[in-house]
């Protein structure tokens, strides 16, 4: 579960760089991982946009590969070095998950800009428009997305698994006590499996959004509706509305008494208990991050505000104390209900920070 705190830390670093970096370079993008808000096409031609998307994918994947090569060089296939530097692999998972989400966001924005530019650079006939729209499907949905699947989800993740789970850790069977051997392999597999699943989720959702955009544009072309900016705006609104309806439906279903577990499934009293002091502490951490991200957003929007700058040190001090408290929580000592509450709070904190940093 420490990956949750590692993810929050990485996001806050990005958020801090964005907020503070703006003081010396107002109006320019920061050097952190914050995705660019695309106000205009990355190129002035349709083919140029597609080439930029492809280059973005290649650059991102190469960065993942370079980081993993560095990790492998540091550990060098040695078990003791692995144990000493295990956090580097966890940080790599965080890098891949965070930057993959940002890559997909940039790609989707660039696809929208492609379609908008297409409405002015392509002949308003079904054949010409359909041919131009198909390039997005072929180049993005099929080609670069499939390449990312092969390069990251398959190759890099499989290489990591082979190098450590089936390699360094498997070889440790004869070097360390079985308990240590088992714990190390279990830790690696759980972290690797979680990252593997998250990459697949991001790929799947990204593919759905690209496919949805292509379908919306295809329908508009069939109807001789070439106001693609309006078409995409409607698509975004419909997608958001559907997501909200699905969320509400899930909430109602979860609250349905008919869905409550049978008596036999109810956890034991000890597992179900949440200590009041634990809940109070977790609630206070969540409340602080709510204030913290709001403050950092204000600072990012108005970096020259002296009043905000005066409060910055206090907030960062509180942030450090809060993160230390979260890091010191021993999940193995929590009841089942406390662990579930902890994960929920940490996930909400992560989403709050991601909403501002990303």
Same domain for 106 and 233, yes or no, is yes
Q: Tens of pLDDT along 20-30?
A: 554 444 333 33
Closest CA to 110 of 64, 66, 162, 55: 55
**For position 70, what pLDDT does the model report?**
95
Domain's final residue, options 242, 263, 297: 242
Residues 58-83 as b or e (16 or more Cβ within 10 Å = b): eebbeebeebbeebbeebeeebeebe
Whether 267 is in a domain gets the answer no
Q: Is residue 15 part of a domain?
A: yes
Amino acid 155: pLDDT: 95
Q: Are residues 105 and 155 in the same domain?
A: yes
Q: Are residues 200 and 337 in the same domain?
A: no
Question: Whole-prediction pTM value?
Answer: 0.60
Contact criterion met (CB below 8 Å) for 47 and 144: no
How many CA atoms lie within 13 Å of 54's alpha carbon, on the beta-carbon side?
13
Q: What is the pLDDT of residues 71-98, one digit of tens each?
A: 999 999 999 999 999 999 999 999 999 9
Q: 35 pLDDT exceeds 60?
A: no
Closest by CA to 213, choosing from 241, 232, 229, is 232
Which of 242, 265, 291 marks a domain boundary?
A: 242
Angle at which helix 178-222 crosses helix 228-255, to 10 degrees, equals 130
DSSP 11-52: HHHHHHHHHHHTTTSTTS--SSSPPP--SS-SSSSHHHHHHH
Domain boundary among 242, 265, 292: 242
Round the average pLDDT of the chain to a whole number and report it. 81
Residue 335 CA: distances (Å) to CA of 44, 300, 324, 325: 57, 39, 21, 18
Examine residue 20 and state whether it is found in any structural domain, yes or no.
yes
Question: Is 257 inside a domain boundary?
Answer: no
Q: Which residue has the higher pLDDT, 355 or 295?
A: 295
- The mean per-residue pLDDT over the stretch 306-312 comes to 73
Q: Are residues 104 and 186 in the same domain?
A: yes
For the chain, the domain total comes to 2
pLDDT value at residue 261: 46
Residue 215 inside a domain? The answer is yes
What DSSP state is assigned to residue 256?
Answer: -
Q: What pLDDT is recorded for position 11?
A: 54
Token code pair at residue 206: 């990204």
Segment 54-67, tens digit of pLDDT = 999 999 999 999 99
List pLDDT tens digits, range 135-148: 999 999 889 999 99
- Is the same domain home to 200 and 340? no
CA distance 97 to 181: 27
Q: What is the pLDDT at residue 303?
A: 73
**Segment 149-174, tens digit of pLDDT:** 999 999 999 999 999 999 999 999 98
**CB distance 53 to 107 below 8 Å:** yes
* More confident call, 70 vs 305: 70
Positive or negative, the CA dihedral 76, 81, 86, 91 is negative
186 inside domain: yes
Same domain as 50, residue 2 = no
Which domain, by its residues, includes 199? 38-242
DSSP at 123: -
> Is 316 found in the same domain as 234?
no
253 assigned to some structural domain: no
For residue 105, being part of any structural domain is answered with: yes
Residues 224 and 338 in one domain: no
Q: Does the pLDDT at position 263 exceed 90?
A: no
Whether residues 225 and 201 share a domain: the answer is yes
Cα–Cα distance between 89 and 187 in angstroms, integer?
12
Asked if 212 and 281 sit in the same domain, the reply is no
List, as one string, the DSSP characters of 140-160: IIIIIHHHHIIIIIIIIHHHH
């Amino acid at each position: 579960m420490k990956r949750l705190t590692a993810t929050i830390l990485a996001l806050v670093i990005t958020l801090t760089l964005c907020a503070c970096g703006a003081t010396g370079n107002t109006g320019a993008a920061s050097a952190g991982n914050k995705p660019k808000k695309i106000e205009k096409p990355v190129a002035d031609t349709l083919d140029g946009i597609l080439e930029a998307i492809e280059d973005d994918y290649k650059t991102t994947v190469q960065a993942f590969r370079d980081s993993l090569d560095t990790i492998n060089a540091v550990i060098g296939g040695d078990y003791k070095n692995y144990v000493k530097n295990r956090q580097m692999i966890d940080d790599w998972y965080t890098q891949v998950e965070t930057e993959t989400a940002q890559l997909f966001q940039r790609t989707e924005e660039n696809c929208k800009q492609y379609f908008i530019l297409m409405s002015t650079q392509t002949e308003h006939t079904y054949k010409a428009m359909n041919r131009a729209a198909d390039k997005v499907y072929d180049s993005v949905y099929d080609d670069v997305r499939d390449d990312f699947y092969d390069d990251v989800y398959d190759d890099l993740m499989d290489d990591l698994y082979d190098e450590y789970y089936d390699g360094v850790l498997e070889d440790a069977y004869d070097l360390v006590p079985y308990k240590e051997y088992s714990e190390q392999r279990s830790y690696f597999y759980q972290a690797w499996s979680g990252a593997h699943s998250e990459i697949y989720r991001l790929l799947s959702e990204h593919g759905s959004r690209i496919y949805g955009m292509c379908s919306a544009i295809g329908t508009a072309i069939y109807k001789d509706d070439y106001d693609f900016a309006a078409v995409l705006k409607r698509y975004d609104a419909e997608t958001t509305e559907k997501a909200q309806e699905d969320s509400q439906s899930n909430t109602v279903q979860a609250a349905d008494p008919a869905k409550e577990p049978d008596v036999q499934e109810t956890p034991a009293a000890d597992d179900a208990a949440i200590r009041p002091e634990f809940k109070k502490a977790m609630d206070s951490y969540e409340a602080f991050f709510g204030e913290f991200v709001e403050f950092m957003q204000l600072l990012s929007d108005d970096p020259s505000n002296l009043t905000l700058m005066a409060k910055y040190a206090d907030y960062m001090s509180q942030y450090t104390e809060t993160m230390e408290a979260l890091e010191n929580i021993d999940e193995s000592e929590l009841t089942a209900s406390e662990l579930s509450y902890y994960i929920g709070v940490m996930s909400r904190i992560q989403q709050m920070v991601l909403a501002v940093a990303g």
